[in-house]
């Protein structure tokens, strides 16, 4: 299993970025995909998730600003981020797993994310 993130960078507050995660090595359409982030304050939290059938969940504070989507033909999941704030500064990770297991309260999701990418850094300047 391999997950490769890209699209991070440095932007001004109010700006936008699109993160991309290309997956390989597993049956993508049967997996649950998610974006997590690890902040400078060492908070690790779920941002958004999307199941193989397209069910989507967001952390409440991301709703309306972040959009997760996927292209099953390309084994790729995206995270569109707009109206970025300095507090969105973090390392963003793509993860894949199966439904059921650990409770990710911020997403309202029970899942077991066993595979993670290396991350892509997002820095938002004020």
The radius of gyration computed from the CA coordinates of the chain, to the nearest angstrom, equals 13
pLDDT more than 90, % of the chain: 82
Arithmetic mean of pLDDT over the chain? 94
* Mean pLDDT to the nearest integer, 10-14: 98
pLDDT confidence of residue 99: 85
Q: Higher pLDDT residue, 30 or 100?
A: 100
Instruction: Band the pLDDT of 64: cuts 50, 70, 90.
Output: very high
DSSP conformation class of 87: G
**Would you say residue 83 has pLDDT above 90?**
yes
- Count other Cβ atoms within 10 Å, centred on residue 6: 13
Cα–Cα dist 108/49, whole Å: 10
Instruction: Band the pLDDT of 26: cuts 50, 70, 90.
Output: confident
In sign, the C-alpha dihedral spanning 97, 98, 102, 106 is positive
Q: CA–CA distance from 120 to each of 13, 58, 59, 93, 101 (Å)?
A: 18, 19, 19, 7, 26
**Would you say residue 98 has pLDDT above 90?**
no
SS3 call for 61: helix
* Mean pLDDT to the nearest integer, 34-47: 96
């Amino acid at each position: 299993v391999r997950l490769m993130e890209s699209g991070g960078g440095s932007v001004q507050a109010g700006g936008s970025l699109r993160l991309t995660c290309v997956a390989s090595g597993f049956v993508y359409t049967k997996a649950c995909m998610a974006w997590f982030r690890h902040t400078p304050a060492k908070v690790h939290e779920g941002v958004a998730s999307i199941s193989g059938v397209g069910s989507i969940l967001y952390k409440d504070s991301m709703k309306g600003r972040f959009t997760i989507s996927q292209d099953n033909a390309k084994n790729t999941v995206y995270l569109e981020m707009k109206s970025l704030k300095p507090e969105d500064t973090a390392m963003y990770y793509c993860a894949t797993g199966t439904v059921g297991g650990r409770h990710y309260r911020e997403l309202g999701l029970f899942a077991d994310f066993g595979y993670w990418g290396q991350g892509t850094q997002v820095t938002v300047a004020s």
